[in-house]
Chain A
Amino acid sequence: MRPLAPRTARHRRLQSLREGAVEGLLRMSALAAVVALLLIIVFLFREAWGVFATPETRAEAGLANLFGQPRWQPVSELPKYGLLPLFVGTAKIVLVAMLFATPLGVLAALFSSEFASPRFREVLKPAIEILAGIPSVVLGFFALMVLATWVQKATGAPFRLNALTAGIALGLGVLPTIFTVAEDALRAVPRSYREASLGLGATPWQTAWNVALPAASTGVAAGVLLGMARAIGETMIVLMASGNAPITSGSALDSARTFSATIAAELAEVVVGSPHYSVLFFLGAVLFTVTFAINVLAGLLTERLRRQLAGS
């Protein structure tokens, strides 16, 4: 072991100086992220504000155009920026993704935390988390080439690329988020809960379903919400697998166009400052607000779970 340095006044001063420098550096790193976030938010909303601010944009893409008519045809003699088909498309695909990923993710989490042997869990958890590491473009390509054919064969859908295909692929993309958060929540439930339940004669399944899951329910819900936020914002999978037709239809077997895919496909084309440009940023601002609200809600739920379990 190194002997302790002599604590001279000079040495102490040097040390505190170094400590201060390190702390300052860390503080700046932390602040840089916050500043970047703020700048991005300011930029996003300022560009989106163009929809209301410039007379040229108001004339071409006013509220009446955005909400008052049902078509999305932005490159046209008479540009149509109706948000309805994009809203329906996004909602449809996210709904399919959540219907697919929620049961799978939550049940897998339940299995991992309540039934799997520690050895098996060592394999299962990383395997599902690796799924999160697959680039979404790969998932999208898989959906485009393989999944679309299966889905069409199974359902006889008229569109080869449709909301169902995109939704399933998107579900695979958000499954790890739901699984990981739900699993952590379930594992945080104190052992005493389960012991009490088992001691009263409940089976392991009854214990898992009626005791562990309800105790962790806020955390599981947080996982589902975080997955949903990701699903709403995810771009590449839907861009490749949904067909991107702006139709307003309730059927999951029809093609659909989402907010995120629209921004990705069209933003590169527009001239900076044009009405089309402002409308795309408006879409971005809506998208940001929705996912932000969902993330905050998920954060509140996680906090509540922590307090519940700590208080008991």
Chain B
Amino acid sequence: MNRTARLPSTLAALLALALATAAAAKPVSVKGSDTMVILGQRWAEAYMNTTPGQVVMVTGGGSGTGIAALINGTTDICQASRAMRPDEKLKLRDRYQTMGVETPVARDGVTIYVHGSNPVPSLTIAQVRDIYMGRVTNWKQVGGRDATILLYGRENSSGTYGFFKEMVLANRDFADRLQALPGTSAVVNAVSKDPNGIGYGGAAYAKGVKEVPLKKDDGGAPVLPSLASVSDGSYPLSRYLFFYTRQKPAGDVKKFVDWVLTPEGQKIVGAVGYYPLK
């Protein structure tokens, strides 16, 4: 083989190598649920430590925001703390001929928070519904002090909002008096300062507030969210946290999703305050 013939093949090899590295370095973008944003960031951090050269970018905004981003094509993975709605799946189908691929990545118990001084021992799901629909407006009606209940919740871009609306309110409307705050930590903060407040959000955030044990119905036993009660579903507001992708995960995205499901990835779930899948 002569020199001149070798040159192009060397160049081609170099080019192929450059393309391969460029492909390996393509960042994976993850967007969605504010509930999951800390979890996602810890995952990304640990994953980037074990996989040099791979960048995973995690941002929040709410599950709805993430799903909209998935539909608009601006994220690889959407984190969602609620299942995708049919109308969202239809939008996805219209644009990509796919209904989206759902991967459960963790479990969570949506917790009801009240102020530390609130004497209410437990609530049934029906009572929580009545409180959030504005049919019960005084703590006295559910075994507490004689004081007006102040409702705190999330903005309607939040997956926790959607989950709560579906599971607790059976898709009816929240009371207008509900104060919608940006982020679960804002809700926890508000409830911790408000003796008559009630709020809801991920179990991981319950710091400085009291968690109220929930009963499925009047006869049920009051249950607090815990690894056992969330895993076996005896806590009434257990839910999965999801990754959504447009197609079946492939390439770098698949590697990241697979890693999240390994024992190593699931260990982080517990460390952040949620519940691992197994």
Closest to B60 in A: A268
Contacts of B193 in A (CB 8 A): 148-149, 160
Which residues of B (122-179) have their CB < 8 Å from a CB of A? Answer: 148, 150-151, 155-157, 161-162, 165, 171-174, 176-179
Contacts of B91 in A (CB 8 A): 271
Question: Which label, helix, strand, loop or mixed, suits the secondary structure of the B interface?
Answer: mixed
A269 touches B64 (CB 8 A): yes
B157 touches A239 (CB 8 A): no
Q: Mark A151-186, 1 if CB is under 8 A from B, else 0.
A: 000000011110000000000000000000000000
B155 touches A266 (CB 8 A): yes
Which residues of B (190-208) have their CB < 8 Å from a CB of A? Answer: 190, 193-194, 197
The smallest C-beta distance from B152 to any residue of chain A, in angstroms, reads 8
Answer whether A270 and B165 are a contact pair too, CB < 8 Å, given A85-B176, A161-B179.
Answer: no
B194 touches A160 (CB 8 A): yes
Q: Does A128 contact B (CB under 8 A)?
A: no
Question: Which label, helix, strand, loop or mixed, suits the secondary structure of the A interface?
Answer: loop
A160 touches B182 (CB 8 A): no
Give the size range of A's interface with the partner.
Answer: 20 to 34
Contacts of B161 in A (CB 8 A): 75
A255 touches B177 (CB 8 A): yes
Contacts of B177 in A (CB 8 A): 245, 247, 255
Q: State how many residues of chain B have any CB contact under 8 Å with chain A.
A: 36
Q: Mark A177-219, 1 if CB is under 8 A from B, else 0.
A: 0000000000000000000000000000000000000000000
Q: Does B71 contact A (CB under 8 A)?
A: yes
Q: Does A265 contact B (CB under 8 A)?
A: yes
Q: Does B181 contact A (CB under 8 A)?
A: yes
Please report the C-alpha to C-alpha distance between residue A266 and residue B64 in the assembled complex, in whole angstroms. 9
Q: Does A299 contact B (CB under 8 A)?
A: no
Contacts of A77 in B (CB 8 A): 171-172
Q: Does B72 contact A (CB under 8 A)?
A: yes
A272 touches B156 (CB 8 A): no
User: Considering residues B91, B180, B197, which has the most beta carbons from chain A within 10 angstroms of its beta carbon?
Assistant: B180
Q: Does B68 contact A (CB under 8 A)?
A: yes
Contacts of A72 in B (CB 8 A): 176
Q: Does B276 contact A (CB under 8 A)?
A: no
Please report the C-alpha to C-alpha distance between residue A43 and residue B197 in the assembled complex, in whole angstroms. 41
Closest to B92 in A: A271
Residues of A within 8 A of B (CB): 71-77, 80, 85, 144-145, 148-149, 158-161, 239-240, 243-247, 255, 257, 265-266, 268-272
Residues of B within 8 A of A (CB): 61-62, 64-65, 68, 71-72, 87-88, 91, 148, 150-151, 155-157, 161-162, 165, 171-174, 176-182, 186, 189-190, 193-194, 197
CB-CB nearest 4 A-B residue pairs: A269-B157, A269-B64, A243-B179, A75-B156
